[in-house]
């Protein structure tokens, strides 16, 4: 069709139909060509990776599955030469790994707390769930109260309240409940996975709003607010988490009256939450910087008040932009919870670490098995968070082209 | 930031002028952008402001809804003087619609949500009422079928028409246009200008910064030429275009009218 163009004036009479792309661009072969053998370097890396997989996989599968000891009364079977992972040990210690030394007859209290938390989390994280406002109130206001009551025990105030209701109604069962239900379980008995989840959840739930508040405070027009936020962010961020934990552990009690001394678990919780918040503040600040000036102007020109503009226009966009950074912080925080062991909290990793020395079980594969189990646990959670964030990023792209 | 000025002129009866600017000065750092601008816009008047880049024309209309603060002089919008009182500024902004060069639509909200956001949150309308108003104005700018889409799924011309509808949903008394067609692909300029013409024909008070001289001829009551922060020439369109008086106006017109 090009013959007419070269000789001057040209008017098209018919338009071409689209043709399918050449075979090299299509189908499995096209994909392999494009992704695995795009060039010499790509081809070399592909071959190297495949070789590595072929070399490693059989050994791993044998150790993890085929040669593994799945059930045994004690460590004898695992001590035999040539055995793989000692899953029997994990099974035997699973209760301890999950609950620490929490009284065995009251584990339902932990289970119920985790169950309610999981249900609320699904409600809030499910993209199409309805009435998230109610869910948020339940999660942030009601759940902490219920959770503390279930895990730690009924407080004196609630007990007194229940007792007065019992007196008013003359109900004997209520009076019994006021006296005996949910006895206190000291935090020195808490441990294992549920403590790790607790520390991580508190850190995540506190750090997002507090981080947003600090980020906004950092660009506040009020010098006192701005100064306070900058100092807090820079000081806490400039110090290792372990230092923050030690400070929280030893210095918090110095600042408050003796009988107000925070619980030994509460102290690292505050430290972790604070530490996560200042990191979050910097992530959010990046997001705020990414919102174009025009968005502020568009909102202002419509007469939206400052706080409505921030809440309805600026923050939704700023937070969407930094979802990868936020989730990155969450993942880092989730793994950093293992550091609370330093101040004597019996988190999951510490639980695994102590049990490998149990004389009934100790043997050559016990430590590795325990650590592989711990690694798998952390990986499942972190990978889950990562996939969830990718899904949300896609959903929140609002017609932007990728 | 504005100096203490004469007592507020918010009179109970309807004031005569929509906008009054008296000796308005504005500096960006040491740069004197506006050098004593005087302008009175009557109700229902359509004024087109043109001028070379950097002349202060955008700054001028951005001062009217206080996206920029002036540092000297008085600006009275709909009988209310602009001061640092933020609540008063928010009230004025609700009465003054603005359309930007780059649309400034909210990309995380649908077209409909863009239009209902401020009526719901600032005017306290019910969602139903706000959506009815929004659909009315989206029909008016001829894109009701796009209401459920997100702004970035629309063409530039469509986005700018949404921006106009969004401003109209606040039932503004005055509309400001800051180079509304400058960022558009050429084939989309007309659909936006048509919308603006129809708005002008309905008697909306309009202040437009634009270089669309065809639009100026068709709808403007007065055309103002601004250069180096001062009005150089203001006149009705016919003499302005056919018989400009000042040399700088002549030069500018010769450059943009090809």
Phi, psi of B37 (to 5 degrees): -95, 130
pLDDT at B258: 65
Span A16-53, pLDDT tens digits: 999 888 877 777 888 888 888 888 999 999 999 999 99
Q: Nearest C-alpha of chain A: how many angstroms from B52?
A: 22
What kind and span of H or E run contains B235?
strand B230-235
Q: Which of residues 109-148 of A touch B (CB under 8 A)?
A: none
Q: How far, in Å, CA of B197 to CA of A230, rounded?
A: 51
pLDDT at A26: 76
∠ CA(A20), CA(A21), CA(A26), 5° rounding? Answer: 110
A398 touches chain B (CB under 8 A): yes
pLDDT at B13: 54
Q: For chain A, what is the radius of gyration of the CA atoms?
A: 29
- Is residue B14 predicted with pLDDT exceeding 80? no
The secondary structure of chain A in percent helix, strand, coil, rounded to multiples of 5, reads 75, 0, 25
CA dihedral angle for residue B6, residue B10, residue B12, residue B18, rounded to 10 degrees: 120
Look up the ipTM and state it: 0.91
Counting one residue from chain A and one from chain B, the pairs whose CB atoms sit within 8 A come to 78
Q: How far, in Å, CA of B181 to CA of B189, rounded?
A: 6
A318 interaction partners in chain B (CB closer than 8 Å): none
Q: Contact B94/A303, CB-based, under 8 Å? A: yes
pLDDT at A260: 78
Q: Contact A400/B152, CB-based, under 8 Å? A: yes
A323 touches chain B (CB under 8 A): no
Q: Are B4 and B83 a contacting pair, CB within 8 Å?
A: no
Q: Which of residues 17-36 of A touch B (CB under 8 A)?
A: none
Q: Nearest C-alpha of chain A: how many angstroms from B87?
A: 8
∠ CA(A89), CA(A90), CA(A96), 5° rounding? Answer: 105
pLDDT at A173: 81
Span A184-233, pLDDT tens digits: 888 889 999 999 999 999 999 999 999 999 999 999 999 999 999 999 99
Q: Contact B104/A300, CB-based, under 8 Å? A: no
For A398, the closest of B86, B107, B170 (CB atoms) is: B107
Q: How far, in Å, CA of B243 to CA of B250, rounded?
A: 9
Structure tokens given for A384: 């889950």
Q: Scanning every residue of chain B, which has its alpha carbon at the shortest distance from the alpha carbon of A294?
A: B104
Q: How far, in Å, CA of A277 to CA of A175, rounded?
A: 43
Q: Which of A292, A301, A311, A400 to mutate to test the interface with B (most CBs of B within 10 A)?
A: A301
Helices A323-336 and A193-218, axial angle in degrees (round to 10): 140
Q: Nearest C-alpha of chain B: how many angstroms from A13?
A: 24
Q: Are B47 and B73 a contacting pair, CB within 8 Å?
A: no
CA dihedral angle for residue A290, residue A294, residue A297, residue A299, rounded to 10 degrees: -70
CA distances (Å), origin B134, targets A145, A204, A321, B110: 44, 39, 28, 12
Q: Scanning every residue of chain B, which has its alpha carbon at the shortest distance from the alpha carbon of A321?
A: B108
| Positive or negative torsion for Cα A376, A381, A384, A385 | negative
Q: Contact A298/B100, CB-based, under 8 Å? A: yes
Phi, psi of A401 (to 5 degrees): -80, 145
For B104, the closest of A297, A316, A401 (CB atoms) is: A297
Residues of chain A with pLDDT under 70: 1-6, 399-402
Residue with tokens 């003359």: A170
For A302, the closest of B91, B103, B118 (CB atoms) is: B118
Q: Counting beta carbons within 10 angstroms of the beta carbon of residue A255, is it exposed (0 to 12), middle (13 to 18) or buried (19 or more)?
A: exposed
Fold of A87-102+185-401: MetI-like fold (1.10.3720)
pLDDT at B9: 44
Q: Which residues fall within 8 angstroms of residue B163, CB to CB, at 6 or more apart?
A: B99, B100, B103, B104, B105, B180
Of A257, A256, A277, nearest to A212 by C-alpha is A277
Structure tokens given for B10: 């918010």
Q: Which residues of B touch A (CB under 8 A)?
A: 65, 67, 86, 90-98, 100, 102-108, 117-118, 121-122, 149-153, 166-167, 170
A302 interaction partners in chain B (CB closer than 8 Å): 93-94, 117-118, 122, 166-167, 170
- Predicted TM-score (pTM) of the model is 0.84
A297 touches chain B (CB under 8 A): yes
A306 interaction partners in chain B (CB closer than 8 Å): 86
User: What string of DSSP letters covers A293-353?
Assistant: HHHHHHHHHTT--HHHIIIIIIHHHHHHHTHHHHHHHHHHHHHHGGGGGGGT--BHHHHHH
Q: Contact B149/A300, CB-based, under 8 Å? A: no
Q: Are B68 and B16 a contacting pair, CB within 8 Å?
A: no
Q: Which of A292, A302, A315 to mutate to test the interface with B (most CBs of B within 10 A)?
A: A302
CA distances (Å), origin A122, targets A125, A133, A332, A391: 5, 14, 21, 15
Q: How far, in Å, CA of A121 to CA of A123, rounded?
A: 5
């Amino acid at each position: 069709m090009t013959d007419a163009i070269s000789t001057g004036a040209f008017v098209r009479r018919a338009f071409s139909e689209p043709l399918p792309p050449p075979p090299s661009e299509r189908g499995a072969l096209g994909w392999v060509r494009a992704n695995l053998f795009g060039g010499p370097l790509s081809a070399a890396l592909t071959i190297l990776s495949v070789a590595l997989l072929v070399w490693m996989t059989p050994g791993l599968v044998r150790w993890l599955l085929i040669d593994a000891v799945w059930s045994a009364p004690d460590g004898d079977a695992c001590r035999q030469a040539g055995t793989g992972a000692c899953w029997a040990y994990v099974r035997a210690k699973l209760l301890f790994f999950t609950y620490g030394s929490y009284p065995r007859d009251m584990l339902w209290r932990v289970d119920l707390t985790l169950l309610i938390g999981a249900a609320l989390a699904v409600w809030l994280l499910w993209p199409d769930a309805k009435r998230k406002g109610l869910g948020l109130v339940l999660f942030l206001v009601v759940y902490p109260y219920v959770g503390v009551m279930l895990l730690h025990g009924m407080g004196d105030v609630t007990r007194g309240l229940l007792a007065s209701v019992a007196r008013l109604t003359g109900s004997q069962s209520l009076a019994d409940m006021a006296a005996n239900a949910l006895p206190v379980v000291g935090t020195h008995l808490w441990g294992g996975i549920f403590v790790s989840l607790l520390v991580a959840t508190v850190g995540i739930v506190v750090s997002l709003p507090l981080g947003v508040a600090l980020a906004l405070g950092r660009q506040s027009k009020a010098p006192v607010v701005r100064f306070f936020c900058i100092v807090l962010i820079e000081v806490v961020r400039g110090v290792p988490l372990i230092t923050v934990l030690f400070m929280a552990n030893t210095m918090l009690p110095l600042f408050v009256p003796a009988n107000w001394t925070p619980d030994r678990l509460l102290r690292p919780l505050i430290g972790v939450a604070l530490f996560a918040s200042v990191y979050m503040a910097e992530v959010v600040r990046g997001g705020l910087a990414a919102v174009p000036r025009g968005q502020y102007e568009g909102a202002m020109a419509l007469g939206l008040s400052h706080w409505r503009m921030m809440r309805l226009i600026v923050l939704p966009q700023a937070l969407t932009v930094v979802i990868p950074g936020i989730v990155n912080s969450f993942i880092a925080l989730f793994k950093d919870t293992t550091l609370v062991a330093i101040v004597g909290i019996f988190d999951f990793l510490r639980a695994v670490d102590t049990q490998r020395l149990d004389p009934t079980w100790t043997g050559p594969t016990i430590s590795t098995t325990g650590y592989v189990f711990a690694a798998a646990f952390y990986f499942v959670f972190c990978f889950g968070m990562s996939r969830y964030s990718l899904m949300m990023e896609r959903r929140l792209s609002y017609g932007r082209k990728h | 930031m504005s100096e203490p000025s004469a007592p507020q002129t918010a009179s109970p009866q309807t004031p005569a002028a929509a906008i009054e600017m008296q000796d308005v000065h504005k500096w960006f750092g040491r740069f004197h952008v506006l050098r004593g601008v005087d302008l009175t816009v009557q109700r229902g008047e359509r004024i087109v402001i043109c001028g070379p880049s950097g002349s202060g024309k955008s700054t001028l209309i951005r001062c009217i809804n206080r996206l920029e603060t002036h540092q000297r002089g008085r600006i009275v919008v709909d009988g209310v003087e602009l001061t640092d009182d933020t609540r008063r500024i928010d009230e004025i902004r609700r009465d003054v619609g603005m359309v930007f060069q780059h649309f400034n639509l909210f990309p995380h909200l649908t077209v409909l949500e863009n239009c209902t956001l401020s009526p719901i949150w600032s005017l306290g309308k019910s969602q139903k009422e706000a959506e009815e108003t929004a659909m009315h104005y989206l029909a008016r700018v001829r894109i009701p079928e796009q209401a459920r889409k997100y702004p970035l799924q629309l063409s530039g011309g469509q986005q700018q028409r949404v921006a106009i509808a969004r401003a109209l949903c606040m039932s503004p008394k005055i509309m400001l246009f800051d180079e509304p067609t400058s960022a558009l692909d050429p084939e989309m300029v007309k659909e936006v200008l048509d919308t603006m013409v129809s708005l002008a024909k309905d008697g909306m008070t309009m202040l437009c910064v634009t270089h669309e001289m065809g639009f100026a001829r068709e709808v403007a009551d007065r055309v103002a030429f601004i250069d180096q922060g001062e009005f150089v020439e203001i006149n009705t369109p016919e003499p302005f275009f056919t018989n400009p008086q000042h040399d700088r106006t002549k030069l500018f017109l010769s450059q943009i009218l090809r």
